[in-house]
Structure 1
Amino acid sequence: MMAFQKRSFVGKGKVYLGRFQQNNLQRIGNTSKLSLTIDDESKELADYENPGGGIADAITRIKEVKVSLTLHNLNAANLAIALFGNASSIASGTITAESHTAYKGALIRLDKIGASAVVVSNSGATITYVAGSDYQVSGAGILIPDGSSIADATTIKVSYAFGLQNMVEAITATGEEYTLAFDGLNEADSAKPCAVDLWRVRFSPLKSLDLIDDDFSKIELEGKLLKDESRPMGTSSYFRYGFI
């Protein structure tokens, strides 16, 4: 038996995630919540030998361990985890004569975002349209104002430059599993270190993603801790918690 140790705990620290068994833990950024919830189920044997009832025996089994995370870093990697997607970065470059059909009052979504040095012409490149009056540039593409000289259903060609950007293709990767590491500090005890390892976690997809709101957006992840059959004999197949 270990000697008695007085320990209060207020946790702060960094959280790392990596694909299960790939040994590539990456920091996920500012995380305001990391918690484990252990649900159990009990089986009871009633006392049938004596009047008045009572319990002759009982067992308790762990039903599941739930993992909850609240992330405030909405980078491409974190969004890909939350949206069951794949993240990629697109190098800066230029697009020449990207073809679209224009309608007054409508937004034309360009293939790349954040277009600059935009040139819009008709399909035969015999007319170059005027920025501001014939079209307006936005982050997502170009808008054709009602007073534009570009007639409805006109085919236009758009040439532009774009910068480095990130893309998440959502709901393209399901069933991914992760290893989680908490590199923690105990704020209530002189910032002494603690470390928690969750060997095998499978998350559920994000239930809500706020795109318009008055507050900072966040990612709230829920997952389940699964058994890691590869852990050494005599150690936990689920998680470990170490501290000073």
Structure 2
Amino acid sequence: MAEQINEAYIGSGIVYINGRDVGNCSNVNFAIEQETQTQRNYRGGGGNFASVTTVSAVNLSMELANFSNANLALALRGVVESVAAGSVVDESVVAVAGGLAETSKMIDLSDTANTVTVKDETDTTTYVAGTDYEVTAAGLKILSGGNITDGETLKVSYDNQGTNVLQALIDSGQEVRVVLDGINDATGKPVTVKVHRWKPSPTSGLGLISDSFATFTIEGEVLADETIQAAGKSKFFTRAAAA
């Protein structure tokens, strides 16, 4: 009698996209869509005489907890650009009474007392932090009761933080290779899954404020890799499990 093998599965692991570790990933799922054509049985008794089922699409989704701009670029078909740390001199911003006068770059908050100055348009008045405005990463919060008037043009000098900036929804989408370097926690054995070509679609939603750890989902289609021509080899993905 052949030995019965029962391999229970609880999956975990590290997901790599084009070799890059995407961070904590709570779900990775394949969804295979199928189409079935049937030929009705006309010889009596009902039912079908023949049927053919074909795969119409192979989809892959993953839920990510790492809100890096590199991950968000995949989810939002974006491009990430780097902005070097530096100094901005006399940037013109428009005051909004009780609101935010935003700067073009992110302000470095490490030493604003010595690096941020705010003047009027004619350079005759230097405004006072804590009285006329407060500094935030996004710009200046104009304080009610201060000397800055609504709609006034200000000259702001500051040190800007080095940042990477996501420009969302400007790319047509890219194809990537996905590798799961995983473990079956039920058996302790390693498992790997390799997806040859995956084209993510823009995410349907992205939460920015929450009272718990946020995640976002990336979905996309697994495309056939026509460079794989060997007989018996999948053009879509492979799964290897330790014996």
Asked whether the two chains share a fold, i.e. TM above 0.5, the reply is: yes
Q: Does 1:216 align with 2:218?
A: no
Which residue is 2:230 aligned to?
233
Structure 1 residue 106, shift from structure 2 partner: 2.5
CA–CA distance in 2 between the matches of 1:103 and 1:29? 39
CA distance in 2, matches of 1:14, 1:188: 17
Specify the alignment match of 2:24 in structure 1: 30
Amino acid at match of 2:97: K
Moved more, 72-81 or 89-98: 89-98
Q: How does 1:57-76 map to 2 (within 5 A)?
A: 57-76=50-69
Which residue of the partner structure matches residue 169 of structure 2?
171
Cα separation, 1, equivalents of 2:222 and 2:4: 30
Distance in 1 between residues matched to 2:227 and 2:122, nearest whole Å? 64
Counterpart residue number, 2:12: 12
Q: CA deviation at 1:90?
A: 1.9
- The SS at the match of 1:143 is strand
Determine helix, strand or coil for the equivalent of 1:80. helix
Would the aligned equivalents of 1:104 and 1:148 in 2 still touch at CA under 8 Å? no
Equivalents in 1 of 2:160, 2:73: separation in Å?
23
Q: Residues 107-157 of structure 1, C-alpha deviation per residue, up to 9 Å, x if partnerless?
A: 111111234321101122221111111111112110112212122332210
Number of equivalenced pairs: 235
- Identity rate, percent: 35
* 1:219 partner letter: F
User: What letter corresponds to residue 178 of structure 2 in structure 1?
Assistant: L
Q: Contact (CA 8 Å) 1:10, 1:186: kept in 2 or not? A: yes
The answer to whether residue 42 in structure 2 is matched with residue 48 in structure 1 is yes
Q: Distance in 1 between matches of 2:107 and 2:94?
A: 20
SS of equivalent to 2:116:
strand
Task: Name the amino acid aligned to 2:205.
Answer: S
Unpaired segments ≥5 residues, structure 2 = none
User: Displacement, 1:4?
Assistant: 6.3
What letter corresponds to residue 184 of structure 2 in structure 1? N
In 1: Cα distance, 2:187 partner to 2:34 partner = 31
Q: Is the 8 A contact 1:90 1:166 kept in 2?
A: yes
Counterpart residue number, 1:92: 85
In structure 1, what is the equivalent of residue 146 of structure 2? Answer: 148
Cα-to-partner distance string for 1:212-233 (whole Å, 9 max, x where unaligned): 1111111111111111111242
- The two structures, once aligned, show a CA RMSD in angstroms of 1.7
> 205-214 vs 27-36, which deviates more?
205-214
Query: 1:172-220: CA deviations, max 9, x gaps?
Result: 1123111110001111112x21111111111111111111111111111
For 1:112, what is the secondary structure of its paired residue?
coil
Provide the secondary structure at the position in 1 that maps to 2:70.
Answer: helix
Contact 2:63 2:215 in 1 (8 A): yes
